[in-house]
Amino acid sequence: MQIKAEEISQIIKGQIKDYESKVDLSETGTVISVGDGIARVYGVEKCMAMELLEFPGGILGIALNLEADNVGCAILGDVRKIKEGDTVKRTGRIAEVPVGPEMEGRVVDGVGTPIDGQGPLNAKHSSKIEVLAPGVIARKSVHEPCYTGAKAVDAMTPVGRGQRELVIGDRQIGKTALCVDAIIAQKYTDVHCVYVAIGQKKSTVALVVEALRKHGAMEYTTVVAACASDPAPMQYVAAFAGCAMGEYFRDNGQHALIIYDDLSKQAVSYRELSLLLRRPPGREAYPGDIFFNHSRLLERSCKVNDALGAGSLTALPIIETQAGDVSAFIPTNVISITDGQVYLEPNLFFAGVRPAINVGLSVSRVGGAAQVKAMKQVAGTLRLDLAQYRELAAFAGFGSDLDAATQAQLTRGARLVEILKQPQYQPLPMEKQICILFAGTRGYLDTLPVDSLAEYEQQLYAHIEKNQPSIYDDLKEKKAIDAALEEKIRATLQAFGESFKAAKGLK
């Protein structure tokens, strides 16, 4: 690109001409002390709670503590440039972030500044980061499914649009993977996604963004990244900022899915902030309003009523446990706020059951209301079957002789566990899930060896697509299995099962 000096001087000339000189009226204060990302400011008497204050050099801070003779302020930027005695200006704005469809496909930091090097956002709207959640009248009960693409979740702990389903488990057992798959699963739906990364490594966030981009999911996703190296206030605020971005869609009659990855780190950064602001510590040194912090955040995810456009904001908050301890402070808090949880277990993960969902401990309080009829028909007994299988498997471990009924139950259970396994980045649409679950729960897999099931599954999808595509269409359209459709599925499974066995040389 050639730079023309003449052009540049023209541009600057224009800007100088347009520059409006006006007397700058501002209310100011002075920094009394600064350190650890917190500044105490004297003055700014009319300062509002959560107002943005401007420090020299354009660094912003949020007024969090309003005291008799000073204001405690969290600095959202480089603390090193701020000195004692600096002048602080009021902006008169309550903390807000840019929102809207322009945010999709972008990576922004905790206060909505783009960090992906793709130029300015050009967002037309902005929204306050702290707003009240919709009230009782404004809501409607959750009734339509929001598919996560994971068979185990959609079949047994279904997530509805507007629901808040916690994903909980130890480190490194696929919590993020499950949620990233849920984003990818929204590719052919009208759901917009927001992924909020809190306190993670920048490399991890880059990997997630790369994965989303590779699977074409970045087009409808906003990534809010407050990484481990960002100041604590930024990490605390990022969750609310992401929520504000999701709310834009909810309030405009659209659907959105937000993932908070993860809220334990957000709690830790809020604890840091609170302690530095000298708020009294409580259990595990968390401040007294840590529960309120999470509840007011998660309450904003909901399904709004038809008068308000029937939009929804579904939340999948993530909590990391330490050595499976779900009874620690933060996990119990968030479990009690959310409408259910998906519990991931290391034992299962290392035994090769991935996603490592513990079916017994995972629940969805919205339950069947968030499932289509067809899914209820095939997965209704799944949870019970698996529970019985686990109980029997424990006994069968003793190696005693087993009667035929027990044998049958064990065979069935082992196959169900096998078909609930799913590789990463391969979320399945509802109709495919129903087909494989139908085969599993109706006994079409009982005669097949367990280790051939992954192959069976892949070939089955291809087979239906090629020979009986009407099954998929009917499921998508009717969302229920009537007698005719059941007959068709049975016939297809029967025929395919035989050809599969023949091809494999099985009897």
Partner 1 sequence: MKNTVIAKRYAKALFAVGKEGNAFADFTKTLNAMSELFAGMPEVADALTNPLYPVEAREKVMEHLLTSMQVSQVLGNFFKLLVQKKRANILPDIAAVFQAMVDADNNMCQGTVVSAMELTPELSAKVKATLEKITGKQVVLTSQVDPSIIGGIVAKVGDLVLDGSIKSQLAGLKESIKGSE
Q: Is 43 in the site for partner 1 (CB under 8 A)?
A: yes
Residue 408 contacts partner 1 per CB under 8 A? no
Site for partner 1 in 487-506 (CB under 8 A): none
Query: Shortest gap between Cβ of 114 and partner 1 (angstroms)?
Result: 14
Is 106 among the catalytic positions? no
DSSP-derived 3-state class of residue 99: strand
Amino acid at 377: Q
CB of 30 to partner 1, least distance (A): 7
Beta strands in 328-377 (DSSP E): 340-343, 363-364
> Among residues 2, 3, 4, 58, which is the contact residue for partner 1, using CB under 8 A?
58
Identify whether the C-beta of residue 258 lies closer than 8 Å to the C-beta of residue 301: yes
Considering only residues 62 to 91 of the shown chain, the ones binding partner 1 according to CB under 8 A are 68-70
| Of the candidate residues 9, 12, 171, 322, the single one contacting partner 1 (CB under 8 A) | 12
Nearer to partner 1 by Cβ, of 70 and 364: the residue is 70
The one-character DSSP state at 2 is: P
The two tokens of residue 357 are 């969902």
Nearer to partner 1, 5 or 23 (CB): 23
Residue 284, CA atoms < 13 Å, CB-side half-sphere: 16
Assign 470 to helix, strand or coil. Answer: helix
Applying CB under 8 A, does 15 fall inside the site for partner 1?
A: yes
Q: Name the 3-class secondary structure at 98.
A: strand
**Binding status of residue 4 toward partner 1 by CB under 8 A:** no
Establish if 447 lies at the interface with partner 1 (CB under 8 A). Answer: no
Q: From the CB of 46, what's the least distance to partner 1, in Å?
A: 8
DSSP 354: S
Sign of the CA dihedral with 279 first, then 283, 286, and 289 last: negative
First to last CA, the chain: 70
For residue 381, give the H/E element and its range: none
Type of residue numbered 130? E
Q: Which of 5, 6, 19, 280 is in the footprint of partner 1 by CB under 8 A? A: 19
The DSSP 8-state label assigned to residue 224 in this structure reads E
Whether residue 319 contacts residue 167, with contact meaning beta carbons closer than 8 Å, is answered with yes
Alpha helices (runs of H) in 175-224, residue ranges in sequence order? 175-184, 202-214
Q: How far is the CB of 32 from partner 1 (least distance, A)?
A: 5
Asked if 5 touches partner 1 (CB under 8 A), the answer is: no
Alpha helices in 325-482 (DSSP H): 329-337, 346-350, 373-379, 382-396, 404-419, 430-441, 453-467, 469-478
**Total number of residues shown for the chain:** 507
Instruction: Tell me the window of 13-21, 134-142, 474-482, 491-499 that interacts with partner 1 (CB under 8 A).
Output: 13-21
Please report how close the Cβ of residue 89 comes to partner 1 at its closest, in angstroms. Answer: 8
Task: Out of 93, 139, 296, 365, pick the active-site residue.
Answer: 365
Tell me which residues in 20-39 interact with partner 1 (CB under 8 A): 21, 23-30, 32-33
423 binds partner 1 (CB under 8 A): no
Q: Is 179 in the site for partner 1 (CB under 8 A)?
A: no
**Distance between alpha carbon 421 and the CA centroid of its chain, in Å?**
21
Select 42 or 500, whichever has its Cβ closest to partner 1: 42
The CB-of-87 to partner 1 minimum distance in angstroms stands at: 8
- Contact residues toward partner 1 (CB under 8 A) are 12, 15-16, 19, 21, 23-30, 32-33, 42-46, 58, 68-70
Catalytically active residues are 365
